[in-house]
């Protein structure tokens, strides 16, 4: 009887590992796909004078897209359980497309080679940070409040810098790199812990995987932008 119970426990543990592995794989597939889509759209817009004129030639269009991005993030974060997986994935895809269009400006400001170089540096650093967050045994939940407060402070400082005519302050960018590096480690651990509680793969936890992908996507994009601000070569 004891051997039978042990065998059943082993089967359950193996099944749970398979579920966690599949969900985590979906997190990073969605994140990678979102980044690829954003990069493709950014490149298309950056090489199309007509698209540039449509987006950046009208403040109404540009700020409308920024507001749409914020709405998509808020809806996905706050109400994802009320949405179908199809609707949630569509909103995520639309967000990546719009974000790519607005981020196309980096190709107009920075040299292509510099953008590519910083991208690969960011990818390497992000991979290490996400790996550390995923495998570390240390509980990082205490970092969450501190990082959110620091992020709010960074946003306020960035707005003040924009008003004062100094949006590319070196110290703001440097602090931003530290904050988003910390958020990458923290989010990776929180996502792993969330997936460890799942027993089967279903629509509900697939939506959680999509939400996790969005969190890591935002960490990557913000880390890239801060590193570009610090080390990117402008045209």
Q: Name residues whose C-beta falls within 8 Å of residue 84's C-beta, 6 or more positions apart in sequence.
A: 203
Task: Write out the two tokens for 81.
Answer: 């359980």
CA dist 93 and 72 (Å) reads 10
H-run or E-run covering 206:
helix 203-231
In total, how many domains does the chain have?
1
Q: Which of 18-27, 159-168, 176-185 has the highest mean pLDDT?
A: 176-185
- Tokens 């597939």: give the residue: 29
- The per-residue pLDDT for range 191-221, each reduced to its tens digit, is 998 888 777 778 888 898 999 999 999 999 9
Nearest 5°: the CA angle 4, 6, 12 is 105
> pLDDT band at 75, cuts 50/70/90?
confident
Residue 207 belongs to domain spanning: 2-231
- The per-residue pLDDT for range 108-125, each reduced to its tens digit, is 889 988 999 999 999 999
CA dist 195 and 7 (Å) reads 23
CA dist 122 and 142 (Å) reads 25
Mean of pLDDT values over 128-150: 86
Whether pTM > 0.85 for this model: the answer is: yes
Q: What are phi and psi of 201, to 5 degrees?
A: -95, 115
> pLDDT band at 37, cuts 50/70/90?
very high
More confident residue, 4 or 227: 227
């Amino acid at each position: 009887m004891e051997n039978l119970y042990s065998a059943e426990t082993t089967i359950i543990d193996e099944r749970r590992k398979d579920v966690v592995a599949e969900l985590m794989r979906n997190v990073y597939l969605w994140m990678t796909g979102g980044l690829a889509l954003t990069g493709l759209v950014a490149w298309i817009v950056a090489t199309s004078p007509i698209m540039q004129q449509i987006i950046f030639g009208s403040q109404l269009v540009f700020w409308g897209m920024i507001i749409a991005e914020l709405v998509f993030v808020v809806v996905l974060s706050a109400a994802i359980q009320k949405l179908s997986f199809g609707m949630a994935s569509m909103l995520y895809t639309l967000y990546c497309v719009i974000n790519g269009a607005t981020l196309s400006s980096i190709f107009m400001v920075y040299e292509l080679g510099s953008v590519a170089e910083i991208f690969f540096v960011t990818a390497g650093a992000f991979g290490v940070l996400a790996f550390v967050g995923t495998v570390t045994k240390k509980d990082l939940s205490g970092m969450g409040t501190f990082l959110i407060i620091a992020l709010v402070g960074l946003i306020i400082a960035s707005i003040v810098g924009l008003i004062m005519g100094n949006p590319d302050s070196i110290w703001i960018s440097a602090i931003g790199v530290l904050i988003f590096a910390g958020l990458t480690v923290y989010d990776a651990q929180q996502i792993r812990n969330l997936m460890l509680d799942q027993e089967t793969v279903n629509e509900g936890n697939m939506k959680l995987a999509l939400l996790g992908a969005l969190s890591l996507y935002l960490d990557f994009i913000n880390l890239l932008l801060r590193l570009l601000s610090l080390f990117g070569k402008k045209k």
